[in-house]
Chains A and B, each alone.
Chain A
């Protein structure tokens, strides 16, 4: 029983790390733009797809593919950020919802039109198991957790210490003061958006070998789960998303293990609605700030 419990917790942390890597992008863009990005999961999908493409068509190795996939996705995010996201700086919240919903439809279906709607198999990855006593774990899963922790340490440094991070926090607090102080809001929005897209792509490439299947609609479920994560973590709170991602991952794996696999994907939404009702500012703070 305890073994099963430990296994569920470990599985939960692995799955939660995947969500935690996607979530900062959405929570940061909410911070600087006050907009919910309904297209955020699509960058996860684009990352996985780019990696699948360069591995199967251009025959590069998996580590190179990780690098390329993140670069390609950041390139696409830069174009979209320039054309769409920067235009949302002064817009009301509906504009953000509608524009990003539109982007999600466009990206998802362009991929299906280009590559076909069938499921594809993701090649590559480090799937050799490592044994810890009774529990075996694929290298890939350990790497995901380690990369996630590393990314969050780096993000913490970025947000607290660098000029860019200070500008991001400033924009999220008061846009008028940023204009007075010569902070270029549009550039901060673009930088935040591209960074978030890159992280989502990284999450997608790293999970590819575990999920195995690649298809155009895979981003949607991630977008929906990320809502639950950013609300739990506190909208705009980067640190909070790591803990919130793990909480969601562990909750899902408990429900899948002890209640039934088919209810796993509803967990995020039950948590989301519950949090919105009871504690809309998230676990950690009363104010929603970086």
Chain B
């Protein structure tokens, strides 16, 4: 599968639909802010889950879309982040934002030494190695009973405690969760955007498109790969923290293939290398299937069909369809 649409190459199409794009963005934001007044709590839950999965998906997008490598380890880092956040909250009673930042940082620090050997591998060897990391993370979570309580997992993770001053405030309602996670999801998406449009983001695209040439141009490709791997793991850790505080339990089940696969589907289905694609992907593949109450088995069959569809008919995911829709809205033809 070639990853075709990038922020660089898509710039031609973007000028024609920039106005529509902006309009669309504002409309979506208003819709998201108004959602709790319209949707009932189950649908809000579906949107919250998709916002949680958006963060590890951004991380994977950085590896797949901007570095051109395929990783299945994102579920492992998601799980590690959820454990870090849960353990910090339960043992030290730290407030939510501390747990959140800690989860991302610790996950990144764990990913760094793992990335040094893993990134020396290429293509399918790298894929198999990242899958290995998931299995080993699961074995650690199951067997390090002193820390993780093994198969039982950790229950009673406190709900997010906010408040910087003297008045701590605990998020308990689903609407509260919704707004808190919406703010975080928007901030993290903004951060991700800032990263990929920066000179560093352009260097990543250069490495993906032609590593030898990028090296010749003086881009330190090896350091870039390592940093990208670390940042993407940190994004997964942030997502894991949100997940732990939302479900209030953490267990080794988080290391099942289900999570890595879901994150992979969001990125590839939405369109690797495209932020709007990943946002739409997390809504389409997580929120919709959650809202329709599709059982996990049927959902996995659906994901499998989506993967086959992506390989044979839609190599760039939904992004070209989104762009076409935007172009139609702005009244110009591509």
Interface assignment of A273: CB less than 8 Å from any CB of chain B = yes
Q: Which of B121, B139, B268, B301 contacts A110 (CB 8 A)?
A: B301
In the complex, which residues of chain A have a beta carbon less than 8 angstroms from the beta carbon of B268?
A: 98
| Interface pair B125/A276, CB less than 8 Å apart | yes
- B131 near A273: Cβ-Cβ < 8 Å: no
Over the window 220-232 of chain A, the binary record of Cβ atoms lying under 8 Å from chain B Cβ atoms (1 yes, 0 no) is: 1000100100010
Report if B328 contacts A (CB, 8 A).
no
8 Å CB contact of A276 from B70, B128, B307:
B128
Is B1 interfacial (CB 8 A cutoff)?
Answer: yes
Asked if A113 meets B301 with Cβ closer than 8 Å, knowing A98-B307, A102-B307, the reply is yes
Contact between chains at B300 and A265 (CB < 8 Å): no
**Chain B CB within 10 Å, residue with most, of A96, A105, A224, A269:** A105
What is the interface size of chain A, counting residues whose CB is below 8 A from a CB of the partner? 41
A-B contacts at CB below 8 angstroms, number: 103
Inside 8 A of B142's CB, which chain A residues have their CB? 262
Q: How far is the CB of B297 from chain A (nearest CB, A)?
A: 4
B117 in the interface (beta carbon within 8 A)? yes
Among the listed A117, A227, A269, which residue makes an inter-chain contact with B136, where contact means beta carbons less than 8 Å apart? A269
A247 to B257 CA separation, bound complex (whole angstroms): 27
- Contact partner of B124 (CB less than 8 A), chosen from A97, A99, A265, A272, is A97
- Residue A103 at the chain B interface, CB threshold 8 Å: yes
Q: Which residues of B contact A184 (CB under 8 A)?
A: none
Selected contact of B301 from candidates A36, A92, A109, A277, CB within 8 Å: A109
Contact of A92 among B2, B297, B300 (CB under 8 A): B2
Are A105 and B129 CB-contacts (below 8 A) given A92-B1, A93-B123, A220-B257?
Answer: no
A162 at the interface (CB under 8 A from B): no
Contact B301 A106 (CB under 8 A): yes
Residues in chain A near residue B131, CB distance under 8 A: 224, 227
A112 to B301, CA, bound (A): 11
**Residues of B in contact, count (CB < 8 Å):** 36
List which A244-277 residues lie within 8 A (CB) of chain B. Answer: 262-263, 265-266, 269-270, 272-273, 276-277
Residues of A within 8 A of B261 (CB): 101, 105
Residue of A nearest to B132 (CB): A269
Q: Which segment of B102-110, B154-162, B308-316 sits at the interface?
A: B308-316
B-side contacts of A272, CB under 8 Å? 128-129, 132
A98 touches B123 (CB 8 A): no
Interface membership of chain B positions 118-151, coded 1 if the CB is closer than 8 angstroms to chain A and 0 otherwise = 0011011101110110011001001100000000
Chief secondary structure at chain B's binding surface: helix
Chain A 85-97 per-residue mask, 1 if CB under 8 angstroms from chain B, else 0: 0011001111111
B74-96: which residues lie under 8 A (CB-CB) from chain A? Answer: none
Q: Please give, as numbers and ranges, the residues of chain B lying within 8 Å of A117 by CB-CB distance.
A: 297
Residue from A91, A92, A103, A276 with most neighbouring chain B CB atoms (10 Å)? A276
Query: Which A74-125 residues sit within 8 Å CB-CB of chain B?
Result: 84, 87-88, 91-99, 101-106, 108-110, 112-113, 117
Task: Please tell me if the beta carbons of A97 and B127 are within 8 angstroms of each other in the complex.
Answer: yes
Contact with A105, one of B117, B143, B300 (Cβ below 8 angstroms): B300
Q: Is B298 an interface residue (CB 8 A)?
A: yes
B220 within 8 A of A: no
**A284 CB to nearest B CB, Å:** 18
Residue of B nearest to A117 (CB): B297
The chain A residue sitting closest to B70, CB to CB, is A94
Residue numbers in B under 8 Å from A102 (CB-CB): 303-308, 311
Minimum distance in angstroms from B309 CB to a CB of chain A = 8
Question: Is A280 interfacial (CB 8 A cutoff)?
Answer: yes
Q: Within 8 Å CB of B308, what residues of A?
A: 84, 99, 102-103, 106
Task: Give the residues in chain A near B312, CB-CB below 8 Å.
Answer: 87, 99
**Of B128, B257, B298, the contact of A36 (CB 8 Å cutoff):** B128
> Which of A94, A108, A262 has the most CB atoms of chain B within a 10 A radius of its CB?
A94
CB of B107, distance to nearest CB on chain A (Å): 19
A-chain residues with CB within 8 Å of residue B310 when the two chains form the complex: 98
- In the assembled complex, how far is the CB of residue A172 from the closest CB belonging to chain B, in whole angstroms? 15
Asked if A231 and B136 make an inter-chain contact with CB atoms under 8 angstroms apart, the answer reads no
Do B307 and A101 touch (CB < 8 A)? yes
Taking the nearest CB of chain B, how far is it from the CB of A32, in angstroms? 15
Closest to B258 in A: A105
Residues of B within 8 A of A108 (CB): 300
- Between-chain CB contacts (< 8 Å), 27 pairs: A36-B128, A84-B308, A91-B1, A92-B2, A94-B1, A97-B70, A101-B307, A102-B304, A102-B307, A105-B261, A105-B301, A106-B300, A106-B308, A108-B300, A109-B298, A112-B297, A113-B298, A113-B301, A224-B131, A262-B139, A262-B143, A269-B132, A273-B129, A276-B121, A276-B128, A280-B121, A280-B125
Question: Interface on B for A, CB 8 Å cutoff?
Answer: 1-2, 70, 117, 120-121, 123-125, 127-129, 131-132, 135-136, 139, 142-143, 257, 261, 264, 268, 297-298, 300-301, 303-308, 310-312
Give 3 nearest A-B pairs by CB, closest first.
A102-B307, A105-B304, A106-B304
A36-B124, A94-B1, A265-B139 given. 7 additional CB < 8 A pairs? A36-B128, A105-B304, A262-B142, A266-B136, A273-B132, A276-B121, A280-B121
